[in-house]
Amino acid sequence: MPRRDDIEKILLIGSGPIVIGQACEFDYSGTQGAKALTGLGYDVVLVNSNPATIMTDPELVRRTYVEPIEVATLTAIIERERPDALLPTLGGQTALNAAIALHESGVLSKHGVRLIGAQIDAIRKAEDRQLFKEAMDRAGLECPRSRHAGSVAEARDFAELTGYPVILRPSFTMGGSGGGIVRDAAELEAKVAWAIAQSPTRQVLVEESVVGWKEYELEVIRDKNDNFIVVCTIENIDPMGVHTGDSITVAPAMTLTDREYQRLRDAARAVMHEIGVETGGSNVQFAVDPKTGRMLVIEMNPRVSRSSALASKATGYPIAKIAAKLAVGLTLDELENDITGTSAAFEPTIDYVVVKWPRFAFEKFPGSDGRLGTQMKSVGEAMSIGRTFCEALQKAARSLETGKAGLTSLVGIVDYRALLEDPTAARDLVHDAPPMARPRASAPPPADELSAFLERVVTQPTADRLFHVADAIRQGISLERLHALTAIDPWFLEQLGRIVAHERAIHQAPELDARLLLESKRLGFSDVQIARLRGLTEGDVREARSARGVHAVYGRVDTCAAEFVARTPYLYSTWETESEAEVSDRKKVVILGGGPNRIGQGIEFDYCCCHAVFALRELGLETVMVNCNPETVSTDYDTSDRLYFEPLTLEDVLGICREEAQRGELLGVIVQFGGQTPLKLAVPLERAGIRLLGTTADAIDRAEDRERFDALLSKLKLERPRAGIAKGAPEAKRIAADIGYPVLVRPSYVLGGRAMMICWDEAELDAYVELAIEAAREEGGSQTLLIDQFLKNAIEVDVDCVADGRRAVIGGVMQHIEAAGIHSGDSTSVLPPFSLAPSVVAEIEHSTRALALELGVVGLMNVQFAVKDGKVYVLEVNPRASRTVPFVSKSTGRPLAKIAAKVMVGETLDALGVKDEPVPTHVAVKESVFPFAKFPGVDTILGPEMRSTGEVMGISVSLPLAFGKSMAASGYSLPDHGRAFISVQDDDKPAACDVARRLRNLGFSIVATGGTAQELENARIPVERINKVLDGSPHVVDAIEAGTIQVVVNTTQGAKAIRDSYSIRRTTLLANIPYFTTLSAARAAVDAMEVRFVAGRNISAVRSLQEWHQRSRRATSG
């Protein structure tokens, strides 16, 4: 059966910005899908608003639209491109929802666009809980008892019938947004109301609880001939009650007999059939009663998912690629398994164990609830592969980069009393900085007290629960008791027990002989763990291993448990008797990836790593990728020549270098593309004799060490804000007083502005210092504090450049819309600058070049500047790939990361023909996207600590148009009438008058509180006064809740004002209306509204990235 020939052009929709529940995995699936379809000769048109993706690389398909994924824009693209078909199953929930919306608007039928991969009926049946339940009834399968509720009363009726707890699942949301467990009647009202508000259809399913049951997922594929395969089974270590994205999971399933497993398989097949998924990959989730084996179907996703990315990486079976081919009519038996050359119509079998461990970022969201439930809260994940569960589990633990070298003890690190008193306690750095008893190195409580603490702590699923369980085992609490407390399967607990028992063996052994070392390694112990248990250093253990010949070997991920020869070098380390690495004799480069996604380190760095691979392959070098993030494109087996799915620790990377250096020539390791993760390894790797490519570790140190940095700036005669380094609170106060408030405070060596804060007075500084010192310790950094003068109302500018040691070329200059003080990762960036004098831009470019040359940068460098009163200050220099590299590359059409990679292996910018280019003939805006909706209670105000998870890009011929697009892409539609609420701090009042006037001209009426209202009245702008929350009802929050406010402008300064206005921002977030916490952003939004006012409602001037770039080039050459 050949591919469908009635289709030529296919529209592929991506998943948009990275948010909790939708991360890089859809770049992986979209990229695979686009490559597969292009490979079959189809013309692929791609839409994704996220510029940091590989799928939006202009070389991948003919037409790439970096445009908002919403009906009006998609309609314009469909009208322009006239695709024959739409493939919505590779872009997550976003793409599925977009497909439904397009169908409902009639656009698809009007233009004869056929859905492929999944039909509307199937999507509806899978997504609508009621329809799903009915379908399962027809298939003879059981679901938990449930009912749909559109109101709190309906939910209460059901809960009283079945008893508490009950589970809430809002319809049509992803990552379980708005869902949760209602434990008792007291919790019901607030949680149901929140859940209903989160659902686009204002419906929530209230469901019988099966908390504590075993949880399984099957990743399945079906083709149009009803051929069906299970690619992978996944078992959750955390039983039902924790969202699968937040659960530690294992593949394959560990605690089912074949009969029990086949029952799940039969059910999954019946689900696919009944839902009517014609072709493609899906995911079916089950709950199994551990006492009786009773099986319930929980849900299914008729599309590829985070789990299918995991399953693909876990087995080597590329689900998205196969799904894309099946969508155009091919069948499984016509496709080949790339890895073995045998048929793709089979079920992968694996001879190793895979563990996925989620990564959380609660510390970024003060006030958030650290307890895990049915709504996903993790921001990333690490996957590991080992020959045994223990090995894989410990590898996963150290892959997370949360300072744990394995399943290590938290006793003495965690303050159990504080944890128990308030499980929702999280640090609160943006405002309030309370004197909270935070985890710190405290003397552990006495043993009996500790056991009692642990018994209570383990009952509640949290990010660190498995560590607490291991500590409970160390305290002698029985596995039976722990099973009763946690409902974790006894088999898993037994394995944890093995690890704990072996710790004792390591500790007590007379000497570290080869057998003990090997046994330890086979249970997943890292050198660091062994060192700590023996009172040695990591280096000692490495030497001991080396002396005794105990080295890792590398196995192949081959889909078939060695039944056939694997052609792809997709490798994992283990401790067996034979290595299958088959190292080549080529010249090779090792590229270190970014590890698990977290706030501040995400897809942007994976993009850079992939580009390094592409560039070096072009030069004929062998590329060796190392990463442990299963969501990424970089861990696709056909991205690099060789892939090591390994933790990014010194030990693991040295092992790989040792293996790769056995033959051929290892030119060196690239650490500057994967963000902080590999960068932290730069110095240790260099000390271990590994050559780093590009900028030297010393240059990195010069940019990061404050004193050396100051010397560098003095030498180049560059200005920076006044600053000082403090070792403790008294010194901090003295320095701050010298510099003058406000000051920007942060611990040295942090990621993503972690624990950074603006202190407006000494009281705020005091409250902060303690917390910041602790954050630094958790990061493994020193306890010194950096105190900088805070430049109020300065303009912030980001520059990315590439240098070869002799010459530096500016990649892009970006001006932030928000004033300095908002973390650059959270601010809105505009390329090219929109309000800077040409002389200032020239000075910035000149300074950037000077810095690059002085530091001897070979590769990428990012510099952050602040401009105040025409004067340019250097804020920060990062001689490595920055978060903005993909945005700059997508905006300008120049692949910066590729150029940098080539330079790092010795090419020159001259030889590559890279020179400064004129500014593009378009404007690109990068807007950040935040996960606040996932964290009930968290403040949404922006500050120096980065909190965004992702970004979108808007591109057009002017700033207002591009800004409007970026707003739409980040999920807000700007209103064109209604009431605007304005409440601003004193400094902003003059500018607020201007914004108010312009909003009024657009037809808005203005609502304001006290001071702002007075100011507006003075400016003779009619305004309706409204109460502040403190003034009592009816106040502004009431109005927002009632839906009578359409846009909010709210700026504040200082801890108290921020605290007082918190409920405004939170309510605004829930109401999903546009809100601006900086006046500059508000101004840009009003600009966008004005343009739309003039041009009419339906302007959707869509253009592909390729066209924008070509246009710009033509303007340059012409």
Partner 1 sequence: MSATRRAHLALADGTLFEGEAFGAEGASTGEVVFTTGMTGYQEVLTDPSYTGQIVTMTAPQIGNTGINQEDDEAVGCRPQVAGFVVRDASPIASNWRSKETLNAYLARHGVVAIGGVDTRRLTRIIRDRGAQNGAIGTEPPDVLVDRARRAPSMEGLDLAARVTPQAPYDFTEGSGEWNVLPAPKGGDRPRVVAMDFGAKRNIFRCLVESGFNVTAVPATTSAKDILARSPDGIFLSSGPGDPAAVTYAIATIRELLGKKPIFGICLGHQLLSLALGGRTYKLKFGHRGLNQPVKDLTTGRVEITTQNHGFVVDIDSLAGRARSTHVHLNDGTSEGLEAPEARAFSVQYHPEAAAGPHDALYLFERFRQMIGS
Residues that bind partner 1 (CB under 8 A): 225-230, 233, 252-263, 265-266, 290-293, 331-333, 342-343, 345-353, 387-389, 489-491, 494, 555, 560-565, 576-578, 580
CB neighbours of residue 109 within 10 Å: 11
Contacts of 837 (CB under 8 A, 6+ apart): 870
| H/E element, 979 | strand 978-983
Smallest gap from residue 237 Cβ to partner 1 (A): 13
Q: What is the helix (H) or strand (E) element at residue 613, kind and residue range? A: helix 603-618
Q: How far is the CB of 211 from partner 1 (least distance, A)?
A: 18
Residue 64 forms beta bridges with which residues? 46
- Residue closer to partner 1 by CB (options 157, 563) is 563
Q: Of 396, 94, 69, 118, which is closest to residue 283 (Cα–Cα)?
A: 118
Spatial distance between the Cα atoms of 812 and 845, rounded to a whole number of angstroms: 9
- Whose Cβ is closer to partner 1: residue 392's or residue 693's? 392
Residue reference for tokens 């056909």? 638
Q: Please, what is the minimum distance in Å from the beta carbon of residue 646 to partner 1? A: 18
Mapping DSSP to helix (H, G, I), strand (E, B) and coil, where does residue 329 land? coil
Shortest CB 561 distance to partner 1, Å: 4
Q: Which is nearer to partner 1, 323 or 1026 (CB)?
A: 323
- The 3-class secondary structure across 770-827, one letter per residue, is HHHHHHHHHCCCCCCEEEEECCCCCEEEEEEEEEECCCEEEEEEEEEEEEECECCCCC
452 φψ region: left (φ > 0), alpha (ψ -120 to 50), beta (else): alpha
Nearer to partner 1 among residue 226 and residue 618 (C-beta) = 226
Q: Give the residue with the Cβ less far from partner 1, 227 or 459.
A: 227
Task: Rank residues 189 and 576 by Cβ distance to partner 1 and give the closer one.
Answer: 576
Minimum CB separation from partner 1 for residue 162, in Å? 24
Residue 549 CB coordination number (10 Å): 9
Q: How far is the CB of 655 from partner 1 (least distance, A)?
A: 18
User: SS3 of 336, please?
Assistant: strand
Task: Give the number of other Cβ atoms within 10 Å of residue 590's Cβ.
Answer: 27
Minimal distance, residue 1037 CB to partner 1, in Å: 52
Please report the DSSP string for 31-74 in residue order. HHHHHHHHHTT-EEEEE-S-TT-STT-TTTSSEEE----SHHHH
Closest contact distance (angstroms) between CB of 389 and partner 1 is 6
Measure CA 885 to chain center: 17
* Residue (389 or 981) nearer to partner 1, CB: 389
* Minimum CB–partner distance for residue 703 and partner 1 (Å): 45
Closest contact distance (angstroms) between CB of 575 and partner 1 is 9
> Which residue, 80 or 483, has its beta carbon nearer to partner 1?
483
Nearer to partner 1, 181 or 295 (CB): 295
Nearer to partner 1, 218 or 612 (CB): 218
Separation in Å, CA 191 to CA 153, 184, 198, 369, 936: 12, 11, 11, 13, 10
In the bound complex, what is the minimum distance in angstroms from residue 408's beta carbon to partner 1?
A: 22
Nearest to 492 by CA among 235, 210, 232: 235
Shortest CB 263 distance to partner 1, Å: 8
**Helix, strand, coil: what percent of the chain each, to 5?**
40, 20, 40
Which residue, 574 or 966, has its beta carbon nearer to partner 1? 574
The CA dihedral of 1042, 1043, 1045, 1050, to the nearest 10 degrees, is: 80
Is the CA virtual torsion 249, 254, 255, 260 positive or negative?
positive
CA proximity to 885, closest of 694, 591, 610, 604: 604
Nearer to partner 1, 113 or 332 (CB): 332
Min CB(622)–partner 1 separation in Å: 24
Measured from the CB atom, is 493 or 767 closer to partner 1?
493
**In the block, which residue shows the tokens 């509720």?**
149
**d(Cα 454, Cα 469) in Å, to the nearest integer?**
8
Of 216, 160, 212, 202, nearest to 185 by C-alpha is 160
